[in-house]
Structure 1
Amino acid sequence: MATTFDRAKLDTGALDIRPMTPAIGAEIHGIDLGASDIASRVPEVRAALLKYGVIFFRDQDLTQEQHISFARHFGDLEVHPATPKGQPNPEVLRIAHGPKSRGQENNWHSDVTWREEPSLGSILMAREVPECGGDTCFANMHLAYERLSEQMKRFCEGLTAVHDIARVFAKRLDKAPADLHEKYPPIRHPVIRTHPETGERVVYVNNGFTSHIEGLSKQESEWVLDQLYKTAWDVEIQCRFRWQKGSIAFWDNRVCQHLAVSDYFPAKRVMERVTIAGDRPYF
């Protein structure tokens, strides 16, 4: 059933919003996310997030504590298992690459789909950026769903996929899959999920964390997943953001996939991410 969600009715107040593409993304100007009265602007920002899927802010000078404080207005925060133990602000995940570390986030994915309750969204701040390169691309996975044939929609809407943290983080954290599975066992999510606030249907599998579709043979599962992964590649449902120091991206992880372009090696790129907890996906 088609959604009746109407983005035009969302109240974004007095925000200075400049859409990036018709499909996804908008820059918001003239707002200080570290201001003492930022709580009063949160309803407008939340509406903009729902309307555009990912929103961007320039020239923000936030401390880690301000970054965390702003994110808490949208929900409880997660601590990622890749965060080093003992750091002062465990809610902040530092993602740094340079001459000794090539970027590894250059595939289309939604964050932490290996959790039973994957994140609502992430707020990523640029601390240091290369002179050029290192952009991040975003795709609207509701539009990806809408572009499927009616037959493919009906087929996929009855499927469940398994998501596994070990596919990415066993190597990165130098841990055996079995050790990671003790705390984060493989989890089942619908291949097509419903956005809990908009009611829109969304393609919800990704090449990073999805291992297979239940009930299909290995060959069938791989074929279906490959077709669904490729839906994010459509440039007509994407936007691309060029970072500057102090830029912030806030994306709705329930409807977006993203890809960090790793074209800047061996230059340095340092980002800090705070992630807002979500709820369990459902069809």
Structure 2
Amino acid sequence: MAQQTLPCNDPIIQITLTYPDNVSIPPSGSDMNIYRASVTVKNTSQLPLLTSSVKVTLDDSLMGYDATLWDDTNKRPIDTADLPIGALAAGGSNSADFLFRIDRAWPMPPTQSGKTMTFHVMPSYEIKHEVVDGFASQSQVVVQSREDLGGGTNWKTNPPDWSTQPSPADPLIQIEQGFFGTLVSKTTGWNQGYTQTPRIYVASHLKVTNKAPVPITSFKYQIAVDDQLVNYDVKCLGEQGPWGQATVSRDLGPIQPGATTDTYAYWIAVFHLDGAAMAPETQPAFLQVAPWYTVEYQRDDSVNHSIPVNT
């Protein structure tokens, strides 16, 4: 048996055709030769395939003979072989067999040489992948209470720290989070209670890159602010008010393969709690990012492979 990986230039799958390496026309006095071949589909991506299948057709350059697909159950030739491959996990593969025959079409075919037959392999698959709150990043900031200034210092731009998550980093997306590692609040006269517009607030940002070979159909993320402060509270504001939100979210829509979104800016402020002490404190706050997204993708393709037929 011979084996050939077909150059389908597909971002998700790899197709391998296995076929006899001694295909020949029937000898004198024989009506047909029947052969078995197979198609293997491998999912080379990090996305699961919901379903997949392959159609196979044949044509040939023979004179007086025909290369046709064969239905052995009903003992008849067929135009197309429909091969179910099924669902494929990331890195998984599956194969399906089909039969074909070379049969005599003319009573006295002419002598011939250099003849071929061609397999037309048409894979089809569908992807529906959804991650909903599959993981969350946690980027720490430190809140310092001071008398002389307020705002933010120690700007950081880095990917979120996935090491604290129960599952590994998501293989399809990369999030960049920019934030102030230190939020600074004056001990007096600054953001007393939850004022509608704080006197001082600082910007943070997020952007996401699609590392998948296919478009991300929809992408959203939520930013949640959590702190362990005694006298102060960290709150955020999205593109629209009001202040005092524990979470903000945004829908980014589709993201093309390899594309990076524009930077999404959101705002952080430190509020002094009513009736709490004005004493300086240093406690952590966390900017937690929870993304969720969907990938829906369909592909129909066609690749060909020709082999010699011995005459």
Length-normalised TM-score, structure 2: 0.22
- Structure having the larger proportion of residues in helix: 1
Q: Which has the larger radius of gyration?
A: 2
TM-score, length basis structure 1: 0.23
Higher normalized strand content (fraction of residues): 2
Relative CO higher for 1 or 2, CA cutoff 8 Å, sep ≥ 6? 1
